[in-house]
Amino acid sequence: MESSDEDEMHTFVQVISEKYNPENFPYGQGVVVLPSPPGSPVKVERLFLPSILVLNDCGIKKAGEKSDIAAFCAHVVELDLSYNQLNDWVEISTIVSNIPHLDFLNLSMNPLTGVELEPSMADVFSRVRRLVLNNTHVSWDTVHTLTRHTPELEELFLCLNDYNTVSDTETSCPSLRLLQITDNQLQEWAEVRKFGVMYPSLSTLVLANNSVACVSDTQETLQRLFPNLCSINLNNSGLSKWEDIQRLNFIPKLKEVKAKGIPLLQPYTTHERRSLLLAQLPSVVVLNGGAVSHGEREDAERFFIRYYQDCPEQELPERYHILVSKYGQLAPLAEVDLRPRSTMVDVRWGERVEAVSLRLEQTVGDLKKHLKTLLQLPTNGIRLFYINREMCSVLGPEELRCGCRALHSYRIRDGDEILVVPKVKSRCSSSGGSGGSVVFD
């Protein structure tokens, strides 16, 4: 008796009644099921259920009364039953059959291992367009039973189900547009190929976190199997050859590719990875989630030419020759030395002259501090003058007044001179300056 009570407390109907109890809704919303004789129509008061029902992780094991479900869920279009205890397709079918407008169904994380769906009860899923079966370990036979009886199914999620093979089926599902089958154990392209037969209208295929090692089909086969595929996600797959990337070009409508975390790209820098991938995929307009501009494509293709232009002829990829015919032979990019610039100048202090290497990115203030250490002078007791030796007869000395100004802005060159003179305090305030006059020979 205890077990029966416990099960009753975890029916779909009971969970709805508890979650939407009027006591939880201060403005009169919620549901109230009034007692009625067996066989009588269900009487419901204040029925204000949302069209999107999220009943995840509620311990649901059974459906409950069909009439109650029908009364509660007449307007429900999306139902999330993930993380429950549903392990019987009879119970699931009872729920679904009494929700007439159901469009989206999420059964993720329910224990459906080894539980088969009988074809006789599969018709109740016919209105579902989006179906999520992640981490249910549902069998391929059940998947095929569902797809045969869902003529409007557009999106199917089969992640985390430990699939290492794909079972064939004689009946295709021509309505399916998106298949997400990430985090499984698929390794052979021969298994992936089967999706093209089963889902001929497929436009998005998400294979991330599988160990698919190659793309092994010919151009004719890929064109025939995936005529409508626009997007493929191969993140963290096992692709290790550029030939696998090149074969993706055989998919006639492919516009988006994701290929992060593959062994092929490990030796390259981030910039090299994107540029080399992009140059090999001329029709792709979105790469690894980022839109490709015309300018970026041109830069990547030019980078590709320069990257390979010093390779032996027999090692040049076919794409290299195609791009050379487009852009011609390119000169190597000029090397730019980004190390801090420096120059040698003579620093004169009275009769003393020191050859000093100046880092030109430092400021006048930095130079004063450096000379204080070099010449043992107080920083605030000196003035600095720059003398251009080639132009000194015309320009004369230029005082380095602004402590925050960078030295390179003075165009200092090797062999020029920095003159250090002491500050001279004025003897009368009316003279208007804090420094005395300086005479240069």
| Cα end-to-end span (Å), the chain | 114
pLDDT the model gives residue 350: 82
Sign of CA dihedral 222, 224, 230, 232: negative
pLDDT the model gives residue 24: 66
Three-state secondary structure call for residue 146: helix
As annotated, the residues of the chain forming the CATH 3.10.20.90 domain(s) are 342-431
Name the token pair of 345.
């100048």
- Given the candidates 1.10.1060, 3.30.379, 3.80.10, 3.30.60, the CATH classification of the domain at 1-161 is 3.80.10
> In this model, does residue 162 exceed pLDDT 70?
yes
> In this model, does residue 341 exceed pLDDT 80?
no
Domain range 342-431, CATH architecture: Roll (3.10)
CATH topology for the 211-336 domain: 3.80.10
pLDDT the model gives residue 21: 76
In this structure, the strands spanning 52-54 and 78-80 are parallel
Average pLDDT over residues 254-265: 97
**Distance between CA 28 and CA 42 in Å, rounded?**
20
Nearest to 212 by CA among 236, 191, 237: 237
CB-side exposure of 320: number of CA atoms within 13 Å? 17
Q: What is the pTM of this model?
A: 0.72
Residue 328, class by beta-carbon neighbours within 10 Å (0-12 exposed, 13-18 middle, 19+ buried)?
Answer: exposed
Q: Are 103 and 131 in contact (CB under 8 A)?
A: no
Q: Are 204 and 181 in contact (CB under 8 A)?
A: no
Average pLDDT over residues 372-377: 76
Q: Which amino acid is at 286?
A: V
As annotated, the residues of the chain forming the CATH 3.80.10 domain(s) are 1-161, 211-336
- Measure CA 267 to chain center: 20
Using alpha carbons, list the distances in angstroms from residue 270 to 211, 305, 331. 22, 18, 23
pLDDT in tens, 196-210: 999 999 999 999 999
Three-state secondary structure call for residue 348: strand
Three-state secondary structure call for residue 54: strand
Average pLDDT over residues 347-369: 86
Average pLDDT over residues 396-402: 86
In this structure, the strands spanning 352-359 and 231-233 are unpaired
pLDDT in tens, 78-132: 999 999 999 999 999 999 999 999 999 999 999 999 999 999 999 999 999 999 9
> Which residue spans within 121-280 are E strands per DSSP?
130-132, 155-157, 178-180, 204-206, 231-233, 256-258
> In this model, does residue 303 exceed pLDDT 90?
yes
- Most distant CA atoms of the chain, gap in Å: 120
Name the token pair of 173.
């599902």
